[in-house]
Amino acid sequence: MSGEIIGAVPPLEAGPPKMNIGVVGWIRMNLFNTWYNSILTVLSLSLIYYTVTSLLNWGVRLARFTGVKPEDCQGIDGACWPVISDNWAFFMVGTYPYELRWRPLMALLVVVALIMLAVWPRIRRMRLYQLAWLVSPIVIFIIIKGSDTFGLSQVDTRHWGGVMLTVILSVVGIVFAFPIGLMLALGRRSRMPVINILCVGYIEMIRGVPLITVLFMSSIMLPLFFPEGFNLDKVLRAQIGIIMFAAAYQAEVVRGGLQGVDRGQEEAAMALGLSYWQSMVLIVLPQALKIVIPTMVSSAISLLKDTSLVVIIGLFDLLGIANLVLANPIWLGKMFETYVFVAAIYWVMCFSMSRYARRLEIRFSAGDR
């Protein structure tokens, strides 16, 4: 960038001016390099100081951590954390029957165990392990819902709630929305006008309306679409709405990936005599999906956040449980604690996923070089 003449470069031993290296130098360079940056630095520092100290005072110094009764919180200015500890199980699994709470815990253990096993590449490549992943959703469903054949008493979905319901709605939503979205994306690229119009119509209609109207449709209108006596569970109806909604967005994500694959690839596949489906499954989709995996993780994050809307149609997901706890007169006025706690759970889930997406992005772009 510099246009200096070689001969003008100062001898190396002189080094840069003292104040530009080391901690002090860094601070000067980055925080106080101009007069307005100095002002901004001072302002930012005071903002940070104010926020951090008041949060610490409220959340730690003046807060009450022990005790399970609301009376334990009388006369303190800080946070009342017993509202969380007392309702812990509530936040996690909702109104799931007290004596059956080991079942969601076991389901969690199954998932954690499977994830832990993935650490060893040898196990990861084993057929049995991959099969276990495929079977796990059914096992988890049976554990949580219960099944008479396995001697587990049925737990009505009305008792599903908290983190458990939030995770179920988002995971099932994304898993089922993906194949539908894939089909919609292929349909949207199709040269057959009818299929094209149907898919574009569906995608654009769903993307043009708010999720809450889709949820209203699935929870209020859906029952009227079926003959009398055909009843869908309330949670299932919400889940259908979420899948319908997510599928349209997944379709757009996949379409982005398909556009990223050169048309020549498909044409080459056709020239080799592969059928449409063969060329898609063997040539185009593997490349397209690889491109969009990070985007897909982001859309999974959005979906996780969006599931909080089921609270409006009366389900008790994590956010719904927060409101339920706050409706209890003995925990009146503990809004900050409850919402901060719930926000922290959502944040941990979403932030870790977004970091993961970023890592994937870097890894894939490294592979493409």
Partner 1 sequence: MKIRICIIAAVFALVAVGSGQALAASPTLDSIKSRGALKCGITTALAGFAFADKRGVWRGFDVDFCRALAAALGVKVKFIPTNAKERFPALQSGEVDVLFRNTTWTLSRDTRLGFDFAGVNYYDGQGFMVRKDSGIKSAKDLDGATVCVNAGTTTELNLGDYFRSNGMKYKAVVYETGTEVRQAYEAGRCDVHTTDASGLAAQRSAMKVPGDHIILPEIISKEPLGPAVRHGDNEWGDIVRWVLNAIIIAEEKGLTQGNVSRMAISTKDPEVQRLLGKTGSVGDDLGLDPDWALKAIRKIGNYGEVFERNIGKKTPLALARGLNQLWSKGGILYAPPVR
Partner 2 sequence: MTELTQEQGKVQLISWRNPAVRSVVYQIVSVVLVGFAAYTIFQNTVANLTKRGIASGFSFLNIESGFAISEVMPVPMLEPGFVSFISSIFLGLIAAFVLHKWVTRKGKTVGGDYRLVLLTIFFIFVVPAITYLLTNHIFVTETYSEASSYGLGLVTGVFNTIKMSILGCILATIIGFFVGIARLSSNWLVAKLAETYVEIIRNIPVLLQIFFWYFAVIRTLPMVRESINFFDVFIINNRGIYLPDPTPLPGFHPFLIALFVACVGVYFRLRHVKAVQDLTGRQLPVLFPSIAILIVFPGLVWMGLGAPVELSYPKLTGFNFTGGLNPSPEYAAMLMGLSIYHGSQIAEIVRSGIQAVSTGQKEAARALGLRGGFVMRLVVIPQAMRVIIPPLTSQYLGVTKNSSLGVAIGFPELVSVGGTILNQSGQAIEIIGITMAVYLAASLMISVFMNWYNEKMKLVER
Q: What 8-state DSSP symbol labels residue 15?
A: -
- Is 327 among the residues that bind partner 2 (CB under 8 A)? no
For residue 191, the surrounding DSSP H or E stretch is none
Cβ neighbours around 102 below 10 Å, total: 10
User: DSSP strand E in 61-205: where?
Assistant: none
Which residues neighbour 272 within 8 Å (Cβ) at sequence distance 6 or greater? none
Q: What are the phi and psi torsion angles at 62 (to 5°)?
A: -95, 5
Asked if residue 136 lies in contact with residue 110, where contact means CB atoms within 8 angstroms, the answer is yes
From 63, 82, 234, 304, residue interacting with partner 1 (rule: CB under 8 A)? 234
Instruction: Please say whether the dihedral angle defined by the alpha carbons of residues 253, 254, 255 and 258, taken in this order, is positive or negative.
Output: positive
x/- letters, 15..54, toward partner 2 (CB under 8 A):
---------------xx-x---x--xx--xx-xx------
80 sits in the region (left: phi over 0; alpha: psi -120 to 50; else beta) called beta
Distance, in Å, from the CA atom of 143 to the CA atom of 137, rounded to the nearest integer, reads: 10
- Is 220 among the residues that bind partner 1 (CB under 8 A)? yes
Would you list the DSSP string of 145-168? H-BGGGTBPP--GGG--HHHHHHH
Q: Which residues in 133-192 contact partner 1 (CB under 8 A)?
A: 156, 158-159, 179-180, 183-184, 186-187
- Is 71 among the residues that bind partner 1 (CB under 8 A)? no
Task: Choose from partner 2, partner 1, none: what does 4 bind? Cβ within 5-8 Å by kind.
Answer: none
- Is 130 among the residues that bind partner 1 (CB under 8 A)? no
- Is 231 among the residues that bind partner 1 (CB under 8 A)? yes
Q: Stretches 4-12, 76-84, 232-240, 298-306: which one binds partner 2 (CB under 8 A)?
A: 298-306
Of residues 251 and 349, the one with the C-beta less far from partner 1:
251
Instruction: Please compute, for residue 86, the number of CA atoms within 13 A of its CA located in the half-sphere on the CB side.
Output: 23
How many chain residues interact with partner 2 (CB under 8 A)?
56
- Is 328 among the residues that bind partner 2 (CB under 8 A)? no
The structure tokens listed for 341 are: 């706690």
Cα angle 291, 292, 296 (rounded to 5 degrees) comes to: 155
Q: Stretches 31-39, 117-125, 140-148, 323-331: which one binds partner 1 (CB under 8 A)?
A: 323-331
Task: Choose from partner 1, partner 2, none: what does 342 bind? Cβ within 5-8 Å by kind.
Answer: partner 2
Q: Shortest gap between Cβ of 213 and partner 2 (angstroms)?
A: 5
Q: What 8-state DSSP symbol labels residue 127?
A: H
From 77, 98, 150, 208, residue interacting with partner 1 (rule: CB under 8 A)? 98
302 sits in the region (left: phi over 0; alpha: psi -120 to 50; else beta) called alpha
- Note the residues at the interface with partner 1 (CB under 8 A): 95, 97-98, 156, 158-159, 179-180, 183-184, 186-187, 195, 198-199, 219-220, 223-224, 226-231, 234, 312-314, 326-327, 329, 332
Which residues contribute to the site for partner 2 (CB under 8 A)? 1, 30-31, 33, 37, 40-41, 44-45, 47-48, 191-195, 198, 205, 207-213, 216-217, 220-221, 224-228, 301, 305-306, 308-309, 311-312, 319, 322-323, 326, 333, 335-336, 339, 342-343, 346-347, 350-351, 354
